[in-house]
Structure formats: structure tokens, C-alpha cells
Amino acid sequence: MKYTLDKKSIRQHMVPEWFHDAKFGIFIHWGLYSVPAFASIGLKYPESMNEVGPDDYLKRNPYAEWYLNTLRIPDSPTQKYQKETYGENSSYDGFVPMFNEAIEKWDPEQMADLFKNAGAKYVVLVTKHHDGFLLWPSKYPNPNKKNYMANRDIAGELTDAVKNKGMKMAFYYSGSLDWSFNPNPIKDAASFLTNGISTPEYIEYANSHWYELIDRYGPLILWNDIGYPPNTNVYEIFAYFLNKIPEGVINDRWVQTYEDGKRITPHSDYKTPEYITYKTIKKKKWETTRGIGNSFGYNKFEKEEDYMTPEELIRMFVDVVSKNGNLLLNVGPMADGTIPEIQKKCLLELGKWLEVNGEAIYGTRPWEYPEGKTIDNIEVRYTQKKETLYAFLLDKPKGDRITIQSFFIEKNSKIQLLGLGKSLDWNQEGENLTILIPENMIDAPAYAFKITPKT
């Protein structure tokens, strides 16, 4: 259909099937903040925000990509680190030549290969974070800072590499926040609400960037962050995007906040909770986003215990998919584009698991129940596809059988363990289902049982 520049028209847009089917995307936070690669450790979002309060949290922000903001807060750990490491008179802008020198070593094909091997179906690159630095050679340069962009077309080179590997490409853009336009730090709840830019100059700047990214690279998702300037008809951007790219998707972070406190939420195709999952199946499509550690940008001070294990990652992923969600898992490259080994290990372990169990993930939809349990308290999750039901066991059973509570299947059903191939013996014991476990069951974080026909 042809979309017009208004809410009624845009809200007729439906989430395309590819996004429902994809399940797994890679987020990339990579920029000037990757040079110092510093943030305080010991805090987690969102729990720590509630525990220590916004003032203390923002002063010790665990997100390394917020380096410039915490650098501007007096007596912050970041300010201390900057002075001790780079000198009393050093500045954030000093990272520009360092970053541009480092990215000369970057190999986009190698990066895309890793994402493909991890099982990702789409990639979301941060083209401009809150610091305002651009990762593409824009025709609309920053009016406040000369040469405030990467000297390689990171967006373009990665787009080509990702598409050549059969994945889809998308872009993040920091719509409301841009600290190259606003020198005042976000240091408490009040300043968070007023830090966004809404001048006519900035609105034209941000709008021009979105149109340029759409025209030049054809992204499949417009992933805006932390709102968009008021007095902007975002439906114009949406209509332009969807008319040009009908399979496009729009996230939910385009909220516009006006001076009188009024907040307008325009159209969104899906929700984007951060470091959060749900307990129930959500009717509206959602995508949880998080780092493998506690930061999006690379923080070289994070220890192994600050990262998820591959087992935790896989179990969380299954849980998310069972409830109508996608996982947008972030990688934080080093300044030269290298993915740290601890992050790479998690990605490759997930990819290895998906080689066996991807059938029960990709292209599936939630079943009628979000969760289940065995009689010995092993968590169970479900997905379905056409005439097939998949039941995931989120741990290895201890004996030679498992019994799933309140789970009834038809008499003629066949049960297989993905990766094994042969049919398993089973019996219905009232409302509970008992499956006999094969002796050669390998160790894995989660097991997918294929049940046909679907109950």
C-alpha cells in the first residue's frame, strides 16, 4: 500500500513476516567511546538505578558508550580516569584521530562472518550515538565540530558485508540526545528529561541524516533511541521509509516530549525493552536488547563474571522467543573493530547450538502456554510452527526420563530430540507427559523436543 504522512495511514503498517521469523539480531555499539573503553563496574541496568538512585547511577554509569556524559560530571570515576590516562588537558575530541587510525585495521567481512556463524539474521549498527560522532560520510556534517565522523564508511562497508552473507541490515540513530549540541551532562532524573535537542537547526540535521541513511543504504529497521525532537512530523519519515522499503520495521523509541510535559507516542511496530524479559506471551511483537556484559560499548575493565555465560545466553534466548520476542544481542568492538574473545565465545556457542536447534527457533511462533515445568522443576518453554510443536528443556535431565507437568499430546504423536533424529518412546500419565531420554544425550544448555502432529 501507499502510506501517507499521518498517523492513521502509518498505523496500518503490519510487522513483516521476516522480522517475526528472524528471532536473533546483532547490535553494534562502536565509536569514540571504544578508545578509552572505560566505565565503572559493579552496577547493572535497570536494577542498580533503583538501588542507588539516578544521581549516583549516572555518575558511575556502567554503559561505556556514555563516557562523554560521565566525563562531564564533576568527580566522576570517568573524569578521574580521563585525567590519569590521557592528561589533565585532554578532551573527548582527542579520541577522533585515535579511532580513525584504529579502524584502518577493521575487516567488515570478518565481522559479518562472525555474526553469520552466530546465527544472526539481522544486524543493527549504531550510526550515531549520543556523543554525535557519525559512522558514515554524511553530506550533512556536524555544524559544531569539524571532521566529526569516521574516515571510513563503516555503515556502507558493513551493509555490503552483511547483505552478502544473507543477513538484513538496520540502523540505530540517537534522535533526541546529541551531546555535540548540548554540553550539559545528564546527572539526575530532571536533566535526563530536558537534555534532548529541539532547535530548528538540529531537527533539520537529524531529519536529513535519516533520509540520507534510507536513500544511501536501504536499512530494514529504523531503530531510533531516546525519543525524537518535538515539532517534527515523524510520520513524514515513516511514510518515506515504508513507501521506499515496504518490508521495513520501525521501533518504539520515537516518543516526542514537549515543554509542557506532553508526551506523544507515534506509531511503533514493536517494543524494545532493555535488559528485561517478560513472564508472559506478549501480543505485540517485542525485541529485548542487551549487552553480553553490563555495557553496550566495550568496557575493558569488565571481568568474566560481568558477562553472561553461553548457557545463560541460550536459555534466555529460548525464553524470549517462546514469548513472541526477538533477541537483539549487542557486541562492543574494540576501537579497531575486533570483537573481544569473551564476546566472540558466547556468539559462537550460540551459533553452534542453533545449528542443531534452529528449526525450533527460526520461523516459529509462541504456543498457547508461555512456560512449563517437569516434575523435578526443570523449566520448559514452547514454540510452534505449522503442524509441529517444540518443547524446550532448559537443563539436562538427571535420569533416563522426563515428565512434563500439565502437558497433553495426541495418541498418534511422534517425539524426536533435535540433533538425534530417531523417535523417542513416551507415554501419557494423566495430565503429565513422560518421555524416555536416550543414553547418548549430549550436554547442552537447552534441548528441543519436536512433537508432530501439534496438539
Distances (CA, A) of 282 to 194, 271, 359: 32, 10, 22
User: Is residue 438 a part of any domain in this protein?
Assistant: yes
Are residues 283 and 383 both part of a single domain? no
pTM of the model: 0.97
Residue 312 has, within 13 A of its CA and on its CB side, a CA count of 10
Round to whole Å and give the CA distance between 273 and 281: 14
Q: What is the CATH number of the domain that holds 237?
A: 3.20.20.80
| CB 405 within 8 Å of CB 373 | yes
The domain boundary, picked from 342, 360, 378, lies at 360
Residue 431 inside a domain? The answer is yes
Dump pLDDT digits (tens) for 12-21. Answer: 999 999 999 9
CA distances from 267 to 1, 13, 205, 255 (A): 17, 9, 22, 9
Instruction: Say whether both 64 and 119 belong to one domain.
Output: yes
392 and 292 inside one domain? no
Q: Determine the Cα–Cα distance for residues 91 and 103; give it in Å rounded to an integer.
A: 20
- Tell me the pLDDT tens digit for each residue of 435-444: 999 887 889 9
Asked if residue 383 and residue 347 are part of one domain, the reply reads no
Res 455 pLDDT > 80: no
Domain finish residue from 325, 360, 395: 360
Q: Is residue 341 part of a domain?
A: yes
Can you give the residue range of the structural domain that contains 73?
7-360
Query: 68 and 175: one domain?
Result: yes
pLDDT > 80? residue 172: yes
What pLDDT, on the 0 to 100 scale, is given for residue 154? 98
Residues 178 and 226 both lie in one domain: yes
Domain boundary among 360, 383, 402: 360
Task: Specify whether 431 is located in the same domain as 333.
Answer: no
Q: Is the Cβ–Cβ distance between 153 and 161 less than 8 Å?
A: no
Residue 310 to residue 329: CA distance in whole angstroms? 12
For 115, other C-beta atoms within 10 Å of its C-beta total: 26
Contact 283, 324 (CB under 8 A): yes
Q: Are residues 86 and 169 in the same domain?
A: yes
Query: Alpha helices of 44-153 — where are they, by DSSP H?
Result: 47-52, 54-59, 67-71, 77-86, 95-102, 108-118
In a domain, 275, yes or no: yes
Rounded to whole angstroms, the Cα distance separating 288 from 64 reads 19
> Phi and psi dihedrals of 406, rounded to 5?
50, 50
Residue 2 is assigned to a structural domain of this protein: no
pLDDT number for residue 449: 97
Average pLDDT score over residue span 252-279: 93
Task: Please give the Cα distance from 298 to 37 (Å, whole number).
Answer: 5
The whole-chain average pLDDT of the chain stands at: 96
For 184-205, the pLDDT digits (tens) are: 999 999 999 999 999 999 999 9
Q: Which CATH number covers residue 419?
A: 2.60.40.1180
Measure the CA angle with vertex 343, ends 342 and 346; round to 5°. 95
Q: Is residue 256 part of a domain?
A: yes
Answer yes or no: do 339 and 319 share one domain. yes
Q: How many structural domains does the chain have?
A: 2
| 215/435 Cα distance (integer angstroms) | 54
If asked whether residues 159 and 133 sit together in one domain, one would say yes
Q: What average pLDDT does this structure show over 447-455?
A: 92
Q: Look at residue 117 and tell me if it is in a domain.
A: yes
Same domain assignment for residues 211 and 339: yes
Domain for residue 1, yes or no? no
Instruction: Tell whether 47 and 142 lie within a shared domain.
Output: yes
Backbone dihedral region for residue 270 (phi beyond 0: left; psi -120 to 50: alpha; all else: beta): beta
Q: Rounded to whole angstroms, how far apart are CA atoms 229 and 353?
A: 42
